[in-house]
Amino acid sequence: MGHYDAFNDDFSQKIVFQNINKHLNSLEDDYFYHLYLGKNQNDLKAMFGDVKFVCMGGTSKRMQKFAHYMKDVLGYRIPTGLTLNDITQITDRYSMYKVGPILFANHGIGCPSLSILLNEIMKLLHYAGCEDLTFFRIGTCGGIGVEPGTVIITDEAVDGLLRAEYRQYVLGKEKIRETQCDRKLIKDLLKISEEMQIRRKFNVVNGRTLCAHDFYEGQSRIDGVFCDYTREEKLDFLKFCNEKGVVNMEMESLCFAGMLNYAKVKFGIVCVALLNRLENDQITASTELILEYQERPFEIIGEYIRRKIMNNEE
């Protein structure tokens, strides 16, 4: 199997996932309980064998919107009387849509929910025999030192102690996995934002992302049910984070980056800031404006995917 270096995008041979569980080969069946799909229950290769891109975000509505957005960008037409179907509609935990070689799924809130989805989707794509995959997380976040509506491309995810490490506890031992994002992919996304003159419409920046375990104390808010620090201490910490290159906070990037780095597959994290945490803890933008903010990452990631698909078809 060829080696893939996430930092120079060097392929010597097509790969799927590195470090994959060796026990999977001996399983007679493998049922993905949270997706209501399975190795023996579905023809995974026929359903998903052509997948090249996996796009994930917190809510099902956002992923459904992005699926429709990409359908229009790629010029795909759905026959009269048919519609984009939620592949996992039997379950109410996650939603999944497919448009050509793009798979869309919502991961819920936080690393545990994301970890479950990533495990089952990665196994699904492994059994389907997919190759040359690129994963994206499209999300919302709290900005640090950036104005609301700014799109942030993550360089690396860090924990609450600013360590670029995803920590898992397995059989009573701590496992540490790296969380740096793909450097070439970051450059490609920034270049696209320049070429499309996206920065004339809204700001696009890149930097470190702090991944917290919760929405309140873990993100230094003073409006949660518990808070034993002052406003000044909160601001001092956020400013310290900003000085260390942190430009946003959310709750999924560590798991996303840690798992996909370990699998040695290409991935990017693109989020939009709903507020500047140096100014406020509560989101005060209107519902209409928030919905518009949420679609801003679509333009950059959508154009990246469109170019890759068009180049492959030429």
Cβ contacts of 111 within 8 Å, gap of 6 or more: 211, 213, 251, 252, 254, 255
pTM: 0.92
Q: Is the pLDDT of residue 273 over 60?
A: yes
Helices and strands of the chain, counted as H and E runs = 8, 14
Backbone angles phi, psi at 237, to 5 degrees: -70, -45
Q: Is the pLDDT of residue 232 over 70?
A: yes
Dihedral-angle region of residue 90 (phi above 0 means left; psi in -120 to 50 means alpha; beta otherwise)? alpha
- Residue 103: pLDDT band (50, 70, 90) is very high
- Residue 25: pLDDT band (50, 70, 90) is confident
Task: Give pLDDT, residue 81.
Answer: 67
Q: Cα(247)–Cα(295) distance, rounded to whole angstroms?
A: 19
Backbone angles phi, psi at 267, to 5 degrees: -155, 155
Dihedral (Cα; 40, 78, 86, 283), 10-degree rounding:
140
Question: Any bridge partners for residue 38, and if so which?
Answer: 31
Q: 183-195 and 296-313 helices cross at what angle (nearest 10)?
A: 100
- Residue 3: pLDDT band (50, 70, 90) is very low
Question: Any bridge partners for residue 136, and if so which?
Answer: 55, 268
The mean-pLDDT minimum among 196-205, 226-235, 259-268 falls in 196-205
- pLDDT tens for residues 191-211? 999 998 887 889 999 999 999
SS3 content of the chain, % helix, strand, coil (to 5): 35, 25, 40
- pLDDT tens for residues 160-181? 999 999 999 999 999 999 999 9
Q: Is the pLDDT of residue 6 over 50?
A: no
- Residue 314: pLDDT band (50, 70, 90) is low
Q: Which amino acid is at 84?
A: L
Whole-angstrom CA distances from 294 to 18, 33, 297 are 32, 29, 7
Cβ contacts of 228 within 8 Å, gap of 6 or more: none
Q: Is the pLDDT of residue 12 over 50?
A: no
Task: Give pLDDT, residue 8.
Answer: 41
Over range 211-227, report the average pLDDT.
Answer: 96
